[in-house]
Amino acid sequence: MTNLVALWRGELPLRDAFWTWAVIVGLLVNVVTSVLFLILIMQDLAWAALLIGYGVSLPYNAVATVGVWRAAVHYGGPAIHADLARGATVLLMAALSLT
């Protein structure tokens, strides 16, 4: 939980915020919630499917996006890297949120 708070605040290095929390954990969270969504839908548990499928993944995607955005502000390297991380995160999280 401490890492999620640090991510939200933009206190993590951009590399960790982007690669670990947006890409790796983001993909894991969204794949797991999508599989659970499908399982629950097949069992005619639509409300539970919506809660798991979107109630977990959308808040996580928002936290990851905000965290990367804020971490990019503190990035000491080339500005293009910060801008690319921001853009890639927005696109990735939007795509994962729609699937």
Over residues 38-77, the pLDDT tens digits come to 999 999 999 999 999 999 999 999 999 999 999 999 999 9
More confident residue, 99 or 11: 11
Q: In this model, does residue 90 exceed pLDDT 80?
A: yes
Q: What pLDDT shows up at residue 99?
A: 76
User: Is the whole-model pTM more than 0.85?
Assistant: yes
10 contacts 64 by C-beta, under 8 angstroms: no
With pLDDT > 70 as the criterion, what percentage of the chain qualifies?
A: 100
- Tell me how many helices (H) and strands (E) the chain has: 6, 0
